Structure 1
Amino acid sequence: MITKTDIRILVVNPYSYINEDIVVALKSMYGDDHIEEIKHVFKDAGIYEDEDFAKSLKKKIEDMRCDVVISTNFFPIVATACNECAVPYIAWTYDTPMNVVPCEQMRYETNYIFLFDRMEMEKYRQMGYNRFWYMPLGVNTKKYERFKASQKYCHDIAFMGKMYKSKLPMIRHGLSEGMLQYLDKLADTQYKIFGKYIIEDMITDPIIDEINREHAAIGYDLIISKQQLAYAMSEYVTYLDRMGLLEMMGRRFQTHLYTYDIDDNDKAFLKDVKIHGPVNYDTEMPILFKSAKISLSGSMRAARSAIPLRALDILGCGGFLLSSVQPELEEYFKDREEVVLFRSIEEAIDLAGYYLSHEDERIKIAQAGLNRVKKDFKYTDRLNKMIEQVLR
C-alpha cells in the first residue's frame, strides 16, 4: 500500500493559474524528489484523444513508477491513461461549470474528481457519477507577502476580470417573438436574484426542442443543447451584472476596470470608469489588490455555490473584498467582519460608499479576511485531504 512518506506524484500542468501553487505545496509536503511535472496545452478535441500525448503520459507514469497523477481541471485523456495504468487520478477543478461536459471517462474507478462548487458536485452525484467529491480552492498567501501597495493602483474601487461576451445573440437569431420574450424574461429574473442559480432549472427539454425546430425551419445550421443555452445565458447575465455594477460605481466613485475583452460600445457605456488593459496575474495583480481601497468580485452566474478564485486572490493579498453573495462565501466567512457581501447592485453601491468613508472598519475587515484564508485555505491542507481520499 502507498504511504504518504514514499508517494510519487506526477502533476499534469495545463498552464493553469493555480498549478505553480499546487507544485510548491506538494514539494513542501513530500520533497522535490517525489514530485514531477509534465506540461501540455489541451486544445479542443485533444482533451479526449491525442495519441502522442497519451503515449508520452503513460511512459512518464511508468518510468517514474507514479503513485498518483494530479491536474487542475478534469481531462478525459488523462483519466483514460491513468485508468489504463491503474494509477489514481486526482482532478481538482477551478472552473465552474466544469471544463468538459459529462462523459463516460468520468466513471473510471481510478478517478478522484474534486469540484470546488459543492452544488455542482451534488448535481453530478445525482446524475449517477460517483467519482466526485467537494474541495474548495486554496490560496498561497506567502507568495504575496513580498509585494507592497503602490500609488499607481491606489483606487477607490478596482475590478479585475472578464466582462463575458456571450454567444446568446447567435442562439437568438431567427427565433420567434414568443421564444425571445421567454429568454428575455428568464435572463431578467436571474439578473434580479443574487446567490441562487435558476437558469438551468428553467430551461426544459421542450424549450430546447422548440429552439432547434425554429432554427431548422429557417435553414439556420445551429443545434444547441440545454447546457450550451444555460451557459450562454449565464454569460449574458454575468455581463449585465458587471456592466451595471461598474457603470453605477463609476458615477459615484473613482472606479478602475482591468480587462482584456471590452469593445468601444461598452467603453462608451462605462464612460465614467477608467479602463485599463489586463494586469499580470503573478506580478501586478497582488499590487493592485493591496493598493485598492475596495476590490470587487462577482461570481459567474453559472457558479452555483462556489467561492471564486478571484475572491481568494483578493483576500490572500490582504485586500478588502466586496463580493456578490454566494452560499459558500456565507458559509466560510463572516459577512461584514471578514468580507462584505451584496445581494443587489444598489446594496453594493451603498456598501462601497459606507466603507470608503470608514477606513478603520475597512482595514480591520481586510485583515480579518486575510487571517481567515491563512488559517483555513492552505494548499497543503487541501491537497492532504484529497490524497487521503486516494489512500483510504
Structure 2
Amino acid sequence: MNILIFEYNNFGTEDVKECLEKKGYKYTVVETDEYRNRVSPEFDRLFEEKFSEGINGEKYDCVFTFNYSPVISNNCKARNVPYIALVYDSPQVLLYSYTIINTCNYVFIFDKTQYMELKKEGINTVYYVPLAVNTDRMKRMSAAQEQNRSRFTEVYGGDIAFVGAMYNEKHNLYDKLDGISDFTRGYLDSVMNAQRKVYGHFFLEEVLNGEILKDMLNSLPLEPNNDGVETIQYLYADYFLARKMANDDRTEIMSRLGRDFGKEYMVNLFTFNETPMLLNVNNRGPVDYYNDMPYIFNNTRINLNITLRSIKSGIPLRGMDVMGAGGFLMSNYQADYYDWFVPGEDMVMYESVDDLSDKCRYYLSHDNERKQIAANGYGKISEFHTYDVRFKEMFDVVFN
C-alpha cells in the first residue's frame, strides 16, 4: 500500500506515520496549506508533481488527509484514486462543498449527528467513526515518566486542568457584529444563554431568521460559497455564536472552579490566551500536543473537556486524548460517548456548572474510584480506538 498524505499543522500526523510504518505501508507526506483552499491552481500543479513521482516508481493507492479538502477530492476524482479524509475539526464548512459527492471520496466524520445530517441528504461518501489515539506513543511516554516521576509531577501535575483555547481574542468574529441593533444583540444573548442550558441539541441555526438575520447581514455581510450548500444561518451559528459561547462557557467554568477549588487545590489552565479575570487559576500558557499534553493528562487528577458547541454530538479529540493518556476525563454531555463508553465507569459527564463543581469535589476525595475510571477509559481506548484499529476499519471500507 502506497499512500500520499497532505498535511499542514494537523494533530496526529506523526501518529498516522507510525501506524502506517507498523503495517509496512509506504507513504509520502507533503506539507502545504494550499490544499485547504476550495480552488488552487498552485496546489493542482503540486498534486500532479507529487502524484506522478509515486514512491520508488510505484503509483499511489490512495490519498489521505485530516479534515476534508475539495481541491484534493477533485484531483483524486480526475485520477480515479480513493481519497480518505478523517475529520477531527468542527465546524467544517468544506464538508458542504458540492465535491463531497465525488465518488472517490471516503470521508470519515467523528460527529455522528453531522454524519447523519449528510447521510439523510443522500450523501453516500460519508462514514461515522470516532477519533483515535496512538497508545503505543502513550506507553513510551509513560515509561519515560517512570524514570523520574517526581519531576513530571512537579512540571505537569495538578488537581484540575483544562487544555484549550478560551476564544477571547480581540479579533473574534462575534465582536465584529458591532453594527447590530440593541434588540438584535439582546436576542442573540438570550438565545445563546438558552443554548448554554441545553446539551445534546444545537438549535442556534434554527433561530436565526427574519429581521434578526437581516440585521446581522447588514452589520457583517456573509455569502455562502457558490460551490457549496451551507446556509447563512450555519455560518453565523457555527463560526460566530458557537465560538462566543465557547468563550462564555470556558470562562464561567474556570472562574467557578477557581473560586470553589483554587485556594485548596491546584487548578491549571493551559492556553495561549491571556486570562487575568480568572482568580485562583494558574494560566500555564500553551503546550505542545505531542511532547507535553499527554503528561498533563496523566499527572492531573481531573481533566476537563469543554466542547465547542458546533460539535453537535461527537467526542472531541481532546476527550479521546485524555483517556488515551491514562487520564481521568470529566466532560460535558456529548451523545456519542454512549456509543463507545459507559459514563461513570470509563469517564464522567457533567450536566451543568453546579454539577461539574459537585463532581469535582467528589472525585478529588475518592482517588481509588477516580483511578479505576481512568484505567477503564484507557482500556477502552487501547482496545478499540487506536490508529491501528481505525485505519484497518477505514481501509476495509475503501478497499474491500
Question: Do both share a fold (TM > 0.5)?
Answer: yes
What is the SS of the residue equivalent to 1:277? coil
Aligned match of 2:222: 223
Distance 2:339 2:8 in 1: 30
1:304 and 2:312 correspond:
yes
1:238 Cα deviation after fit: 1.3
The range that moved more, 225-234 or 349-358, is 225-234
Instruction: String of CA shifts for 1:35-57, please: whole Å, max 9, x gaps.
Output: 222221238xx612222321221
Counterpart selection for 2:175 from 165, 169, 187: 169
Counterpart selection for 2:386 from 378, 387, 390: 378
Counterparts of 1:221-370 in structure 2 under 5 Å? 222-223=221-222, 225-231=232-238, 232-253=240-261, 254-262=266-274, 266-267=275-276, 269-370=277-378
Matched AA of 1:41: D
Q: Which runs of 5+ in 2 are unaligned?
A: 146-151, 224-231
1:369 Cα deviation after fit: 0.8
Say whether the 8 Å CA contact 2:34–2:43 is kept in structure 1: no
Aligned match of 2:106: 112
Distance 1:70 1:287 in 2: 29
Q: Which runs of 5+ in 1 are unaligned?
A: 1-6
1:122 Cα deviation after fit: 1.4
Aligned match of 1:160: 163
Matched AA of 1:57: F
Say whether the 8 Å CA contact 2:5–2:28 is kept in structure 1: yes
Aligned match of 1:121: 115
1:153 Cα deviation after fit: 2.3
Aligned match of 1:28: 22
Say whether the 8 Å CA contact 1:339–1:366 is kept in structure 2: yes
Distance 2:191 2:299 in 1: 38
Instruction: String of CA shifts for 1:175-207, please: whole Å, max 9, x gaps.
Output: 223322221111010111123322123223664
| Count of aligned positions | 371
Say whether the 8 Å CA contact 1:153–1:291 is kept in structure 2: yes
Question: Per the alignment, do residues 101 and 109 of structure 1 end up closer, same or farther by CA in structure 2, a change over 3 Å counting?
Answer: closer
Distance 2:128 2:210 in 1: 28
* Cα RMSD for the two superposed structures: 1.8
Say whether the 8 Å CA contact 1:194–1:344 is kept in structure 2: no
Aligned match of 1:49: 39
Question: Per the alignment, do residues 201 and 127 of structure 1 end up closer, same or farther by CA in structure 2, a change over 3 Å counting?
Answer: farther
1:174 Cα deviation after fit: 2.4
Say whether the 8 Å CA contact 2:176–2:220 is kept in structure 1: no
What is the SS of the residue equivalent to 1:296? strand
Counterparts of 1:174-193 in structure 2 under 5 Å? 174-193=179-198
Distance 1:363 1:276 in 2: 24
1:100 Cα deviation after fit: 2.2
The range that moved more, 189-198 or 273-282, is 189-198
Matched AA of 1:384: K
Say whether the 8 Å CA contact 1:137–1:309 is kept in structure 2: yes
1:250 Cα deviation after fit: 0.7
Aligned match of 1:4: none
Aligned match of 1:86: 80
Matched AA of 2:362: Y
Instruction: Using the aligned pairs only, state the percent identity.
Output: 28
Matched AA of 1:186: V
1:99 Cα deviation after fit: 5.2
Say whether the 8 Å CA contact 2:206–2:233 is kept in structure 1: no
Distance 2:216 2:260 in 1: 42
1:326 Cα deviation after fit: 0.4
Distance 1:208 1:179 in 2: 9
Distance 2:167 2:15 in 1: 26
Distance 1:123 1:187 in 2: 22
Aligned match of 1:60: 50
Distance 2:129 2:95 in 1: 19
Say whether the 8 Å CA contact 1:48–1:76 is kept in structure 2: yes
Distance 2:312 2:33 in 1: 28
Aligned match of 1:3: none
The range that moved more, 341-350 or 245-254, is 245-254
Question: Per the alignment, do residues 283 and 99 of structure 1 end up closer, same or farther by CA in structure 2, a change over 3 Å counting?
Answer: farther
Distance 2:354 2:220 in 1: 41
Aligned match of 1:139: 133
Distance 1:15 1:210 in 2: 36
Question: Per the alignment, do residues 205 and 303 of structure 1 end up closer, same or farther by CA in structure 2, a change over 3 Å counting?
Answer: farther
Matched AA of 1:155: G
What is the SS of the residue equivalent to 2:45? helix
Question: Per the alignment, do residues 133 and 126 of structure 1 end up closer, same or farther by CA in structure 2, a change over 3 Å counting?
Answer: same
Distance 2:64 2:80 in 1: 14
What is the SS of the residue equivalent to 1:70? strand
1:101 Cα deviation after fit: 5.5
Which consecutive aligned stretches of 4+ in structure 1 deviate over 4 angstroms post-superposition? Answer: none
Say whether the 8 Å CA contact 1:294–1:319 is kept in structure 2: yes
